[in-house]
Chains A and B, each alone.
Chain A
């Protein structure tokens, strides 16, 4: 089976920072779920941003679903991210002046060319599964941290992406919601043959994933690892 995500010989560093990242190889198959663990600041978020095309590697190749991301122009890369990837951010990144529903449908407002009705229906089903459907019309400010995180997860999954990248998706959830949320992401990945890469340091959840990788094993750089 051809991997859905392939990362080869990728090197990256921040300007004016001693931090360096060098990933020899990383792959993820369709329907596979991978947890990347490591201490805070070791570069997990940077790695996810590289895969998403938000950051550009200095060297190497990142291929998602047969498309070499780092060869795309920024506009094409952004369009690819919008249509094929679902991103869950550490700080939720919900837009404060949009209702929960509009936040979940944000990819549609930003130009995703999906059928609005079907996307809205998928999004509402997800919101129901996540237990946040009653907040659909209200602003995120009146939601708890956990509810906001669930809204962010709904936004990432509602577009039925081929690759889901989640940065500490359960960081603000209580134990029961943590398991419920991770189960939903994993079920969605398996059902829709999505590749799921989750950066986390929550050891409670690691058993649920197909693969667990320690980021320090992934990063081959001998330079300091904290950005």
Chain B
């Protein structure tokens, strides 16, 4: 038997009908690829989720879904959660369960979440700057590497917070923030976020504002009497859209600060005892906040994902069987259509074995090409999965 000749004849037959051959390769490759891609995504998401959850020992937040709280605090997903009052945070700090880091995750700028926090957050995540300097005052921000690259931003540039709803005229006031530094990439949600001081987020909330200086002559907001010598001043509230060296002194907060909103607080106990105490503290029924172990929340989420994966895999397997059945039928029909050609081979002197090998070779070329394509697509998916997941989670 001349295997080279058989391979040559098979290749010629496949090349003669390129559309049919490519459709077969494509459909078999997709049939093989989908379950594989799903598996890659689920396992990668578990890894991505767990990595971040491991570095976040405990979370305190408002009552509700522990998964939503975890996703919002760790991956800055835009969940609609009730606020954690600043007073509750102060109460947590006073308990001395370890380091506490406040998080405010509500607003967005340039398509990225604005995270109001303290410098301790950067220590917790091991974040460093690749350019510029840290936040030094209200209205300053440092941004993630991916956001900087995507928007071509550098220290000294500015970024404006987005209104939550363009039809809500009384809603939050856009704030122009000064970028002071760019964070080194760490392949997490931090790469695509804007970090500001907690108070800056309260300015965006509209909880802080400035007043105009009455002595400033020529200000249009001040009304003058008709003779021009008398200035009738009022203490009208001005919403500055940028914090500058000239207006920073005029910013002040009104109202009870203990009612100011946060999203959650990260608690980093120094030891097991502090951790146990923190967990026990939030068992009290009178306390309206909840404490969450992010790793457990993520494990719960992963188990839900695995259950979904099992269901999807079953569906993919059934679809795969149907697709393979169709491919088999296409092969059989194709061989039936080429009966005359195969009979010619037989008449000239090809044995049944040679003809069987010829058909087998064609099927093998298609299946091997499809498997190769599926493996390549799988490898590509594995390489881009973390980035895609990071984008999906944000």
Contacts and interface: CB of A to CB of B under 8 A. Distances in A.
Interface of A: 52, 54, 74-75, 78-83, 85, 87, 89, 93, 95-98, 102, 106-113, 155
B344 interface: yes
Nearest to A99: B12
B334 interface: no
Contact of B347 (A80, A87, A102): A87
Nearest to B342: A95
Contacts of B9: 98, 109-110
A96 B16 contact: yes
Given A102-B12, A109-B8, A109-B9, A74 B341 contact: no
A79 B8 CA distance: 19
15 contacts: A74-B352, A75-B351, A75-B353, A79-B351, A80-B349, A83-B349, A87-B347, A89-B347, A95-B344, A97-B15, A102-B8, A106-B345, A107-B349, A110-B349, A110-B350
A82 B354 CA distance: 12
A140 B351 CA distance: 24
B2 interface: yes
Interface bin, chain B: 20 to 34
Given A107-B348, A110-B2, 13 more contacts: A75-B352, A75-B353, A78-B346, A79-B349, A80-B349, A81-B347, A85-B349, A93-B344, A107-B349, A108-B5, A109-B8, A110-B354, A111-B349
Contacts of A83: 349
B5 A110 contact: yes
Interface string B327-359: 000000000000011001111111111100000
A136 to B, nearest CB: 15
Contacts of B13: 97
A109 B351 contact: no
A54 B348 CA distance: 9
Contacts of B349: 78-83, 85, 107, 110-112
Contacts of B352: 74-75, 78
B237 interface: no
Contacts of A112: 2, 349
Interface of B is mostly: helix
Contacts of A98: 9, 12
A110 B345 contact: yes
A224 B1 CA distance: 42
A222 to B, nearest CB: 30
Contact of B348 (A75, A80, A87, A102): A87
Nearest to A84: B349
A5 B349 CA distance: 18
Contact of A106 (B340, B348, B351): B348
A89 B349 CA distance: 13
Interface in B300-339: none
Contact of A110 (B12, B16, B341, B348): B348
A98 B345 CA distance: 13
Closest 8 CB pairs of A and B: A82-B349, A97-B16, A109-B5, A81-B349, A93-B344, A111-B2, A110-B350, A78-B351
Nearest to B8: A109
Contacts of A110: 2, 5, 9, 345, 348-350, 354
A102 B13 CA distance: 12
Contacts of B6: 109
A74 B354 CA distance: 12
Contacts of B1: 111
A209 to B, nearest CB: 24
Contacts of A107: 348-349
B2 A108 contact: yes
Nearest to A81: B349
B357 to A, nearest CB: 10
Contacts of B12: 97-98, 102
B2 A109 contact: yes
A176 to B, nearest CB: 28
Nearest to A91: B340
A111 B354 contact: yes
Contacts of A155: 348
A69 to B, nearest CB: 12
